[in-house]
Amino acid sequence: MIHRLSRNTPRLARNGYEIAIQGLNTQSKVSHALDKQLAREGSRREMAKKVLLVDDSTTTLMMEEMILKQATNYELVTAKDGFEAVASAVQSIPDLVLMDVVMPRLNGFEACKHMRTHSELRNVPIILVTTRGEEEYVTAGFHSGCNDYITKPINSRELVTLLHSYLGE
């Protein structure tokens, strides 16, 4: 509820928040209420970003997970092929997708196109990761709707920096 305050209304300010002390018996009640509000808002801001890692290679998935767990606080979700990736992305709406290109059932290009058909995934950054760095593959990747394209072997520092550029630290 918002009330119009006069200049004479007592106030309590903490961490950039200001509330009026109207109708409460003690300043401690106000302080307690303000502390609870700040804690709720702080935990909302600190929620981990969700990253969907997609690769048919268990070794590559483990390596990407290890790199990201050591360097970030992102929540990591995995999928083993493009078909599973699309289903997982639609269900959990990740903040970013890091996806291999060469996979069974549905390759990374096709999975990227399918993800872009879902309105809730249109603005989710998709980074394709592959051993195929030839120009026609890079062009096909961007035509499929990806935001970025990196080649294997993955440099851990570059990977973390790239994800931070999309998601923040």
Any bridge partners for residue 12, and if so which?
Answer: 19
* Homologous superfamily, domain 50-167: Response regulator (3.40.50.2300)
Q: Indicate the SS3 state at residue 61.
A: helix
**The pLDDT of residue 107:** 96
Q: Is the pLDDT of residue 148 over 90?
A: yes
Residues recorded for the chain: 169
Q: What is the pLDDT of residue 112?
A: 97
Per-residue exposure over 61-92, b if at least 16 CB sit within 10 Å of its own CB, e if not: bebbeebbeebbebebbbbbbbbbbbebbeee
Find which of 7-21, 82-96, 130-144 is predicted with most confidence, using mean pLDDT.
82-96
Could you give the angle at the alpha carbon of 168 between the alpha carbons of 41 and 86, nearest 5°?
95
125 close to 155: Cβ distance less than 8 angstroms: no
For residue 152, what are its two tokens?
């294997």
Contact 105, 134 (CB under 8 A): no
Domain coordinates in residue numbering, the chain: 11-45, 50-167
pLDDT tens for each residue of 35-92: 555 454 444 446 789 999 999 999 999 999 999 999 999 999 999 999 999 999 999 9
> What is the model's pLDDT at position 134?
86
Residue 115 and residue 126 in contact, taking contact as beta carbons nearer than 8 Å: yes
Average pLDDT, the chain: 82
| pTM attached to this predicted model | 0.72
Residues 78-96 have pLDDT tens digits of 999 999 999 999 999 999 9
- How much is the pLDDT for 47? 78
Position 33, amino acid: A
Q: Is the pLDDT of residue 4 over 80?
A: no
* pLDDT the model gives residue 83: 96
- State phi, psi for 70 to the nearest 5 degrees: -75, -30
Q: Distance from CA of residue 6 to its chain's centroid?
A: 42
Token duo for residue 45:
């801001």
82 φψ region: left (φ > 0), alpha (ψ -120 to 50), beta (else): alpha
Helices (H), 18-134: 27-45, 58-71, 82-92, 108-116
